[in-house]
Structure 1
């Protein structure tokens, strides 16, 4: 197996980098000036605390800042500050205006889309009864305690649903859905997408047909979708549809939008801040509430066709620059659904001919100025990077084109055909100590080494998962994934190895980093003979 292939399996390193967290913090060097001195200077406000800005060619990822707020949003938020209002009155005024704008019964602004999912779930469990609300997450004695989620809708965001204390019932077919509905069913939650499009076995239409006779509300999570007016998923059978404010709608990053049935949204508002209870920790300010309303108004007035043409012109500029390089080709793909609705430019080449993979390009531009966030992929010998333009800003395309042209057009040395010989034999059983921020956790590694390649098992706190990796000289890289429905934690190990000790850092993806030390477990040499009786015991 080639080095490139094994590195692909060990995963490209995300933007935070495979360095210990405290070392990462040391790299943040303020470059002068207080906020008051730099606030008028654009990106220098981040520079003043040692943080680089990044050209966003990935889309509306929260970890990059989501979307750029529309000017109308910033203006509304600024206008809303400096005054005081009663929040229930504010919510009612916004709720009615959103209803008028979007042609639905009612609207609500939450502290992000995930908070909206949580508040809706609370509403379905309590029915607006405050005595029940303040008991959450202890649902003892509640009539409604279960939420049905189709398997293909299980995702990391359903933590917001589970935070209420409900029991998730996972189904895969219409028959399973029908059988799962009972007197304890509080709601059905889906993430809108291909698995529940019209015509699919468990489409939203099918779900609604099964659920509505029982009076079961349906929540459609359309966080990254374009807003449709009236909301298309309500017409398809959803009770309420939830959007992120900080994605396609380009509202406040910390706001969410719920549209649909008024009675259940009133119960959801009761479950949210400023009202005490399990939603008090999801505070949305008056500025974000007015900013979200302004974003919806702006959405209706925006020239979406002109925006699309602007995006295509940026991609065309980058495309024209990069495809002048021998061996580089391109393709622009168009989105098929409402979610993450933007064209994407794919730049492709033969990794063996350029001695470079898409993952390596993405890593280089992620770490070095001017920093870019781009996607990457490698299949067999063909590799690629991809560029999504919907959060790029004027002037970005020229920077991106020059940056990528410089990398793809340079001469890259061919990588050695063979890896350096391993300096240690790691086959065996290892006691692994992981040092998290305030806790040390004890895991186990069961390793089989074949030359440079590592395979085995990583026994975590709660599971046993496959381990793969490589050793080159005394450098090790290993990867395991802890998975459960809706969640995934990648353990990416990098460090040094000897015959009896492993040390280094673990990149935990979005969960930051940890340090590790592993020591070979020594077995006692007990050479006593083992007696096995010839039948069942005669005494116990």
Structure 2
């Protein structure tokens, strides 16, 4: 799995009981009691519980929506040490850049307000070239020379919004030949997402892209957000100009920090394009505390016992596995990661859904919504279903809780479920006008539906596209789903409603984009029948 997956199960990362948490920040310091505990929580509850929010055991990995990774104690100490002082930010950035260069053996380093912000700053640097008069024109690139960014189609993803925010035109290519033709005087840079298709030997590998770009002087930005830090950086060794990492993933730095390594001149231009400097990057402010926290995370990376961490993760998975295998029909397997991103072992717990009468998706939903809440992955097909557990963000003691919780669910006796659906009381075949109330706006969509028994298929016309829709009806309840896709982006519409008096009303689940409400009414057409006469030739007058 990689960070581009959209999570099925949402939540908040727990910090209570974390063996990485700094006692001085969560409790008392040498200077007295922490200010955090004045109003938000008592000694018997966490700061999240004080807000009425459940914490979640994270068995999914370093997803931002769960809180990223747990910060190293060295990071928390650096953040605390940095607070309460004032420094000149350019001097700080230069000092950190120099130290990152020494630690990573890169030409230079920079800390940004997250990996995506780093992508934006490098793009702005490639467009403006360190010229502040050009910089402050962004995103209006009408008078600028460098206005295009080339991206292989396989690298399009939801994070390239950070690049497009600069106002550039994205040029997608599918082959080396197309990339050769795409490069011109307007090309600001080439962006590539690290992964299997960028590896050596692939048609548009990093090596091949560098070979094409270098004669034209076009920089190559590589997004390695969820990768382990390699020293020296493997991608810089392969020819990338700048490599971007997330601070809140494998490196276990601040969740709101990113790490950029590479060409010094380009990174100095990227720093110029970020806060505290005014311009298009002012909205991506990184604090001195996060900057020094990120530096501390890189320092810690060079001394961490990575083999011991891995052994600990395996031991947690084995503890859960042993508990699961006590259930008849359950098999388990620990799989090693492939590629460079999200490097952690994963436990797969498998069974036949017709034997235990429950699916992996249902188990994942159960533990995601009910206490103790746990974020796990799942998959299902007709003959086999499974859940998967990633341990790199679990905390000591979590394995026992997870094992007991899953054992309780999977060992429960269940009766076979009938696949028979309740007979529909309505026929939704036809055209429907769909009025949607989003959080702060309204929109009108269309359904073109065909119903056969309980099942529906058809088309959904949304704001900017027409896509297939499918669904089901039981009695007067209807569920519909469609998927809107553009390069790098995906939105699922999950409609759930009740039919009454020739109208449908209900809610729309929009995944990470929260929810909306809708009301659909059948489209009405003129009852008048008018004969149509087609002329026999061109008109004699206009």
Which residue number in structure 1 is paired with residue 140 of structure 2?
138
Change (3 A) 1:477 1:306: same
State the alpha-carbon separation in 2 of the partners of residues 43 and 267 from structure 1: 46
RMSD: 1.5
Q: Structure 1, residues 472-517: CA drift from partner, whole Å, max 9, x if none?
A: 1222111111110011111111121236111111111111110111
Secondary structure of 2:478's counterpart equals strand
What whole-Å deviation, never above 9, does each CA across 1:289-314 have from its counterpart, x for those lacking one?
Answer: 00000000001100000000000000
CA deviation after TM superposition for structure 1 residue 37, in Å = 4.5
TM-score calculated relative to the size of structure 2 = 0.93
* Equivalent position of 1:29 in the other structure: none
Aligned-partner SS, 1:302 = coil
Would you say 1:493 and 2:488 are equivalent positions?
Answer: no
| Paired residues, number | 514
Distance in 2 (alpha carbons) for counterparts of 1:394 and 1:526: 74
Alpha-carbon distance in structure 1 between the residues aligned to 2:342 and 2:170: 27
Q: Is the 8 A contact 2:319 2:400 kept in 1?
A: yes
Pair 1:138–1:56, CA change in 2 (3 A) = same
Distance 1:60-1:88 versus aligned 2 partners, 3 A rule = same
Aligned counterpart in structure 1 of residue 242 of structure 2, from 231, 240, 255: 240
Instruction: Encode CA deviations 1:73-124: one digit per residue, 9 max, x unaligned.
Output: 0000000000000000000000000000000110000000000000000000
Q: Which runs of 4+ in 1 moved over 6 A?
A: none
Show the counterpart of 1:506.
508
- Write the distance in 2 (CA, Å) between the matches of 1:500 and 1:34: 55
Q: 2-side partners of 1:289 and 1:155: how far apart?
A: 27
Aligned pair 1:294/2:296, yes or no?
yes
Alpha carbons 1:424, 1:498 under 8 Å: kept? no
C-alpha separation in 1, matches of 2:225 and 2:246? 5
Maintained 8 Å contact 2:508/2:515: yes
Which residue matches 2:407?
405
Structure 2 counterpart of 1:15: 10
Tell whether the 8 Å contact from 1:43 to 1:53 is kept in structure 2 after alignment: no
Contact 1:426 1:499 in 2 (8 A): no
Residue in structure 1 matched with residue 425 of structure 2 by the alignment: 423
> Alignment partner for residue 118 of structure 1, among 117, 120, 124?
120
TM-score, length-scaled by structure 1? 0.93
Alignment check: 8 A CA contact 2:10 2:66 kept: no
Equivalences for residues 33-432 of structure 1 within 5 A: 35-37=37-39, 41=43, 44-432=46-434
Aligned equivalents of 2:242, 2:403: Cα separation in 1: 42
Asked whether the equivalents of residues 117 and 160 of structure 1 are also in contact (C-alpha less than 8 Å), the reply is: yes
Contact 1:331 1:345 in 2 (8 A): yes
2:473 aligns to what? 471
Distance 2:36 2:265 in 1: 48
The secondary structure found in structure 1 opposite 2:526 is coil
Alignment partners' CA distance in 1, 2:42 and 2:127:
47
Tell me, which stretches of 5 or more residues in structure 1 are unaligned? 1-10, 17-32
Cα separation, 1, equivalents of 2:450 and 2:501: 13
User: What is the CA distance between 1:523 and its match in structure 2?
Assistant: 1.7
What is residue 25 of structure 2 aligned with on the other side? none
